[in-house]
Chains A and B, each alone.
Chain A
Amino acid sequence: MKNQILEAEDAKLTALLRQSRPTAPMLPPGFQQTVWRRIQRAETSSPAFGRLVWVDQLADRLLRPRWALTGITTVVVVGVLAGTLSGTTTAKKAAQERYLVAVAPSQVR
C-alpha cells in the first residue's frame, strides 16, 4: 500500500522535474566553427603570439624543399666564388713575390 503511494508520488515528482528543466535553445548552424575561429583569432592577436609567430613561419619555410634547395645552391655558389677570389689574390701575391725575388733580391731592395 505504502509502496503504491510512493510510486505515484515519484511519477508526479519526475513529471514536475521534467517541466522545471530549462530547454536548451536551438544553436545557430556552424556555431562550433565560429567559436573556434574566435578563439584562434584571439590567440593570434595577442602580443606574445605575434612576436614569435615569424619564428615558426621561418622554420616552416626553411624546411620546404624548394627553399632549402635554393638556399643551398646560393650558399655553394657564393662560397666557391669567394674562395676563388681569395685564392686568386693569394696566388697572385705568391707569383708577385717570386718575380720580385728574381729581379730584385732582398739585398738590393
Chain B
Amino acid sequence: MRRSVFIIVAVALATAAIFLAAFHLGGRLCRAHLAKTTDDLDWLRLEFRLSDAELARIRQLHEGYLPKCRSYCARIAAKKGELQALLDGGTNVSGEIEQKLGDIVALRAQCQAEMLRHFTEVSHAMPPEQGRRYLAEMRRLTLGFHEQIEQSMSHPHADGHGHP
C-alpha cells in the first residue's frame, strides 16, 4: 500500500517535470524560430498572413512613412524641450507655456492624422478582410489608449478626477 502511494507520487512528480521540460523546450524552439529576423513588419506577416507581394507593397509604404514619422517625433521632442525650459524658468503658467502646449497638441494631432493615413494605405494593400482587421487593431492600439484614459478620467468615482 505504502509502496503504491510512493509510486503514484513519484510518477506524478516525474510527469510534471517532463511536462515543464517539454513546455520550455517547445516555447524556446518557437521563439528562436520566430525571433530570427528583426524585421519591423514581422508582426504583419505573422498576424495577417500576407503574401510576398503584399508584404513588398506594405514595406514600400512603411519605408515612405518612417521619415515623416521621425520628422514629427523630432519636432514634438523639440517643442517638449522648449516647454520644459519654460517650466523650469518659472512657477506660473504663462501665455508662452500655454502656446507651447498648444503647439505640442497641434503637432501630435498632425502626426496622428499622418499615422492614420498610413494605416489606411497599409490596410488597402492587404486583402479586404485582413485590412479591416488591421485598421481596427491599429486604431485600438494607438488611439484606444487615449480613449481609455479619457474614460477613466470622466468616470465619477475615479480618484478625485471625476468630472460632473
Contact = CB atoms under 8 A, between A and B. Distances in A.
Chain A binding surface SS class:
helix
A107 B69 CA distance: 11
Interface residues of B, number: 53
Contact of B23 (A60, A83, A96): A83
Contacts of A5: none
B115 A90 contact: no
Given A83-B26, A84-B26, A88-B34, A105 B1 contact: no
A105 B35 CA distance: 21
Given A96-B43, A98-B38, A59 B112 contact: no
Contact of B66 (A75, A94, A102): A102
Interface residues of A, number: 40
Nearest to A87: B30
Interface in A94-109: 94-96, 98-100, 102-105, 107-109
A78 B20 CA distance: 10
29 contacts: A59-B3, A59-B5, A60-B4, A75-B22, A82-B23, A83-B24, A84-B29, A86-B26, A87-B26, A87-B34, A91-B34, A91-B35, A91-B46, A95-B46, A98-B40, A100-B141, A103-B115, A103-B119, A104-B141, A104-B142, A105-B73, A107-B73, A107-B76, A107-B77, A107-B80, A108-B69, A108-B76, A108-B112, A109-B141
